[in-house]
Amino acid sequence: NAGVTQTPKFRILKIGQSMTLQCAQDMNHNYMYWYRQDPGMGLKLIYYSVGAGITDKGEVPNGYNVSRSTTEYFPLRLELAAPSQTSVYFCASSDRQTGLGEKLFFGSGTQLSVL
């Protein structure tokens, strides 16, 4: 059982470049999330989705875009990368319907550096 899979694990971008962080889950969870973690800080919510075709902004959405065309996939797009986007990015999912929506299952993260 793979759970939540993120690719790539590491990436270095130049300022102004774009990229997509991939996230897939095989647990048929309806909720999916993107978080970023900066050094010494907690996780900050970037975007979330409550189901296919439905996305909404979290606490720090600027500079990012998401889409959710299927239950399984929730890619995060960075347009015009900036040094402030250097961070570790985590994708997560949860099963709201069981009443355990706050029990998130996380991927192993993508470490992104923008130079």
Q: Is 105 in the site for another protein (CB under 8 A)?
A: yes
- The binding track of 26-65 with respect to another protein, each residue x by CB under 8 A or -, is -----x-x------xxxxxx--x-x-----x-x-------
- Structure tokens, 54: 């439905």
Question: Strands 110-114 and 10-13: what pairing?
Answer: parallel
- Using the contact rule CB under 8 A, the part of the chain among 15-23, 60-68, 76-84, 97-105 near another protein is 97-105
Instruction: Name the nearest CA neighbour of 31 among 79, 115, 103, 86.
Output: 103
Nearest 5 degrees, angle CA 14-CA 18-CA 24? 120
Closest approach of Cβ 90 to another protein, in Å?
5
Q: Is 50 helix (H, G, I), strand (E, B) or coil?
A: strand
* Site for another protein, rule CB under 8 A: 4, 31, 33, 40-45, 48, 50, 56, 58, 90, 92, 94, 96, 101-109
